[in-house]
Structure 1
Amino acid sequence: MGFRSSMNYYYAAFLCITVLLPAALCYGGDYSRATYYGRPDFLGTPTGACGFGEYGRFVNDGRVTGVSRLYRGGSGCGACYRVRCTIPEDCSEEGTRVVVTDYGEGDKTDFILSQAAFESLARPYKAQHLFAYGVVGVEFKRVPCLYYRRFIFLVLPQSRYPAYLAIVPLYQPGTFDIIAIEIFQADRGEWRPMRRAYGTVFDITEAPLGVITLRYKSVDYGDPESWVQLNEVIPSDWKAGHAYEIEIPA
C-alpha cells in the first residue's frame, strides 16, 4: 500500500469515526429488511428449523431471528449478527446482536426477529413506532458469538442410548459455519460422518461405544475449510436431553 492510499484509508476510517457517524454505526455491513413474528412472551420459538428446541426460546435473552438466504441449508444456524435499523429518529445507533435459530421468509426480508430482538432495535420509548412499521430497513454484519471459545452440545431427546445419537451444537463461537461433523470410531480407527438430519441437527446410527470424540469442518468468510477435533466431548454414559460443554482449542 502506497503512502497516498494509506493516507486515504486512514482518512476514511477517521471520517467514519469522528465526522459521519458514531463508531457504533460504522458497520461496513450489508443492507436488507427485517420484520418480527408475534409471540406474546416476546421470546423465540421452540419449534425452529435449526433444531434448538426449547433452548431456542431463551438463547441470547430471547433476541433471536429466523433468516432466509442466511440459513444456508442449516449451516447458518447459531450464527450471530449485529443488526440495526435505518430510521434515524426511531432506531438506536448500536442496534442489537441476534442469534439465528430458525428459517423464515418475509416481504423481501433477511431477518424475521423475535419481538424482543425487534424491540431492542429502537431508541428508548420508540419501540412502538417500529412495531407500527412492521417492516424496517436494516444494516447488518456477521459478528463473533460471545461464547468464550466454548461449545455446548445438546444430545436431543430422540436419541436412544447407545445406538442412535442426535446432537445439536448449541453454541457456535467465532464467525464460522459448521458444514460437517464426524465421529471417531476407536475400534476401527476411523472417522465416520454424521448426517445433517435438518437445520443444525447431526445424527448417527450405531453410535460408537465409549467416550465420544468429534471433529467438525468449518468455513469462515472465504478462509479455507478446516477440521477441528474435539476430544472426549460426550461421556460414555451419555443421556438423551442432556447438554455437554467443552472448550475449543485456541
Structure 2
Amino acid sequence: MAVFLKNDYTVLCMFLLLPTLCYSNNYVSRATYYSTPDGKGTPSGACGYGDYGKDVNSGQVFAASKRLYKNGAGCGACYQVRCKDKGLCSEEGTKVVVTDSGEGPGTDFILSYRAYAKLAKQPNMAKHLFAKGVVEVEYRRVSCKYGGNLMLKINEHSKYPNYLAIVVMNQGGATDILAVEVYEEETQEWISMRRSYGAVFDLPNPPNGELKVRFLTSAGAETKWVQSDKAVIPAEWEAGTTIETDIQLS
C-alpha cells in the first residue's frame, strides 16, 4: 500500500517560489506508465470518455488508484505531479487528468507515455525515467482550467426514448461530481440518474420533453447542488450528441 504524507509548504511558497511551482498540501506516492501507439490515453478507459479520454489535455492522462478514482467520482480530476529524483525530474512536473482506473504495487498514478515523459527535466532524460519503470512522486489536486461550460455527451448506448445515458465531460474544477439528476416538468420533481460506471450516468424511461440537469458536487467537506438555468438536453435527443450546458464548476 502506498504511503501518503501531507506536507505544508505554504510559507515557503509564499516567499521563495513562484506560484506555479508551489506544491502546498502535497501527498507522496509512486507513479508508473502504460503505452499506446500514439503515447496518449486509451479510449476504453474506465471513466467512459471514449476518444475524449485519449486526447484530453494533449493525451497527458492517467489511470487512477481506487483512492483517487473514487468509484468514478474522481473522473476528470486534474493533478499536478512531479517525481522526486531531482537529477532527472523537472521542478514543476506535469498536470494530468483522470480518465481510467488502475494501480500497481504502491502506485496511485499509471501515467500515459506522454505524461510520464513530461516528468523529465529535459526531453533526452525521459529514457532514464522509462528505464526505472516506477518513480517516487509528490502530487496535489489542481483546477483543470479548461475554460467554457460543463459539457455532456449522450452516450452511444442510449436508445431514444427508452434509455438515456450521459457522460459528464470537462468538469474542470477542483470538485467531484457525486450525483446527477434530471427534472421532470410534469411532476415537477428531480429524478436521480444511476452512476453506471466512471463518468457515465443513466436512466431507463427518462421523462419526456426537454430536460434540466443538476449535479451534486463535492469540494473537500462541502457538498452542494449546481443546476442548469434552462433545459440542456433536447426533447428528441440523439445518441452521440455533445451538449454544452450553462454550468461552470469552480
From the superposition, tell whether residues 194 and 12 of structure 1 become closer, same or farther in structure 2 (CA, over 3 Å): closer
Q: 1:200 is aligned with what amino acid?
A: A
Q: Matched residues in 2 for 1:16 and 1:152: separation? A: 34
Per the alignment, residue 96 of structure 2 pairs with: 98
- TM-score after normalising by structure 1: 0.90
Kept in 2: contact 1:151–1:245 (CA 8 A):
yes
Per the alignment, residue 76 of structure 2 pairs with: 78
Kept in 1: contact 2:89–2:119 (CA 8 A):
yes
**2:25 pairs with 1:26:** no
Q: Matched residues in 2 for 1:50 and 1:249: separation? A: 20
Q: 2:117 is aligned with what amino acid?
A: E
User: Cα deviations across residues 11-37 of structure 1 (Å, max 9, x unaligned)?
Assistant: 972x44555x66544202111000001
From the superposition, tell whether residues 138 and 249 of structure 1 become closer, same or farther in structure 2 (CA, over 3 Å): closer
From the superposition, tell whether residues 22 and 133 of structure 1 become closer, same or farther in structure 2 (CA, over 3 Å): farther
Kept in 2: contact 1:219–1:226 (CA 8 A):
yes
**2:45 pairs with 1:48:** yes
Kept in 1: contact 2:82–2:137 (CA 8 A):
yes
Kept in 1: contact 2:149–2:248 (CA 8 A):
no
**2:79 pairs with 1:67:** no
- TM-score after normalising by structure 2: 0.90
Per the alignment, residue 121 of structure 1 pairs with: 119
Structure 1 segments unaligned to the other structure (5+ residues): 1-8
From the superposition, tell whether residues 107 and 89 of structure 1 become closer, same or farther in structure 2 (CA, over 3 Å): same
User: Cα deviations across residues 89-137 of structure 1 (Å, max 9, x unaligned)?
Assistant: 1111111111100000112000000001101111122111111110001
User: CA RMSD, aligned part only?
Assistant: 1.9
Q: Matched residues in 1 for 2:246 and 2:82: separation? A: 31
Give secondary structure in 1 for the equivalent of 2:187.
Answer: coil
User: Cα deviations across residues 153-193 of structure 1 (Å, max 9, x unaligned)?
Assistant: 01110000122110011111211110010110111111110
Compare 23-32 and 61-70 and name the one that shifted more. Answer: 23-32
Give secondary structure in 1 for the equivalent of 2:245.
Answer: strand
From the superposition, tell whether residues 129 and 238 of structure 1 become closer, same or farther in structure 2 (CA, over 3 Å): same
Per the alignment, residue 160 of structure 2 pairs with: 161
Q: 2:76 is aligned with what amino acid?
A: G
Per the alignment, residue 171 of structure 2 pairs with: 172
Per the alignment, residue 4 of structure 2 pairs with: none
Per the alignment, residue 3 of structure 1 pairs with: none
1:51, CA displacement in angstroms? Answer: 0.8
Flag as ranges the 4+ runs of structure 1 deviating above 3 A: 15-19, 21-25
User: Cα deviations across residues 29-55 of structure 1 (Å, max 9, x unaligned)?
Assistant: 111000001212101011111111121
Residue identity over aligned pairs, in percent, reads 50
Structure 2 segments unaligned to the other structure (5+ residues): 1-7
| 1:109 alignment partner, one of 102, 107, 110 | 107
Give secondary structure in 2 for the equivalent of 1:126.
Answer: helix
Give secondary structure in 2 for the equivalent of 1:88.
Answer: coil
Q: Matched residues in 1 for 2:170 and 2:199: separation? A: 11
From the superposition, tell whether residues 218 and 12 of structure 1 become closer, same or farther in structure 2 (CA, over 3 Å): closer
Kept in 2: contact 1:24–1:93 (CA 8 A):
no
